[in-house]
């Protein structure tokens, strides 16, 4: 696990030196969350984007029958939020939970505006992040609607290369939209295919 922080993330992506970003990031709120602690619960208002410096988060919903649906995982160097809640000021439909002890930077709109004013190319970078997020969501929807379980699993491994060792198989199955039994079959099928090659 590579150690990272918001300052490193911004300097490496915006081609600015650390001194320029230090005065802005020093006022950011950094919080530690214990495993199984919630950063956001359903019906709360999401006021932050969460940048994961250390640990692992998941964003999920629960239907009326109590079944969980995992929308995303957020390991180190990832951002996660409920955009509908934060941007449109709506109660959240999601939970965001720490799956490991985690250190997270809480990014609010004031911080984003300050970056936009201070760093000329931040707005372009922020747009790229937003469009990249939309692209990933579109691909995920397409996979859930049209791809077989094996292809979904392979895409999951590509997107989250180290998550398989960090979460239970039931959560992977929930993310893929399949049962744990189907996931076991997919993994056996893949193992057999690789063994025969």
94-119 pLDDT, tens per residue? 999 999 999 999 999 888 888 888 88
Strands 38-40 and 95-98: antiparallel
Banded model confidence at residue 2, pLDDT cuts 50, 70, 90: very low
Rounded mean pLDDT, 112-130: 89
For the domain made up of 6-120, give the CATH fold. Answer: Jelly Rolls (2.60.120)
- CA 36, CA 20: separation in Å to the nearest integer? 36
pLDDT for residue 4: 57
Structure confidence by residue, pLDDT tens digits, 15-52 = 787 777 887 888 789 999 999 999 999 999 999 999 99
Say whether pLDDT at 197 is over 80.
Answer: no
Is the pTM value of this prediction over 0.75?
Answer: yes
Say whether pLDDT at 124 is over 50.
Answer: yes
Structure confidence by residue, pLDDT tens digits, 65-92 = 999 999 999 999 999 999 999 999 999 9
- CA 28, CA 108: separation in Å to the nearest integer? 9
Q: Are 84 and 33 in contact (CB under 8 A)?
A: no
Rounded mean pLDDT, 1-17: 76
For residue 45, give the DSSP letter: B
Q: Which residue, chain included where needed, has tokens 């090659």?
A: 197
Say whether pLDDT at 1 is over 50.
Answer: no
């Amino acid at each position: 696990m590579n150690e990272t922080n918001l300052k490193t993330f911004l300097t490496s992506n915006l081609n600015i030196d650390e001194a320029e970003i230090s005065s802005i990031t020093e006022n950011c709120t950094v919080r530690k969350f214990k495993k199984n602690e919630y950063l956001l619960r359903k019906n709360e208002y999401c006021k932050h984007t969460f940048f994961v410096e250390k640990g692992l988060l998941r964003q999920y919903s629960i239907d009326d029958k109590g079944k969980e649906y995992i929308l995303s995982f957020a390991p180190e160097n990832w951002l996660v939020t409920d955009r509908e809640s934060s941007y449109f000021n709506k109660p959240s439909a999601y939970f965001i939970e720490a799956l490991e002890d985690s250190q997270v930077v809480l990014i609010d709109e004031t911080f984003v505006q300050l970056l936009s004013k201070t760093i000329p190319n931040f707005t372009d970078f922020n747009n790229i992040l937003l469009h990249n997020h939309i692209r990933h969501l579109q691909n995920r929807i397409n996979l859930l609607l049209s791809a077989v379980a094996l292809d979904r699993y392979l895409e999951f491994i590509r997107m989250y290369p180290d998550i398989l060792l960090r979460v239970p198989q039931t959560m992977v199955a929930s993310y893929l939209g399949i049962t744990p039994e189907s996931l076991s079959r997919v993994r056996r099928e893949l193992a057999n295919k690789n063994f025969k090659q």
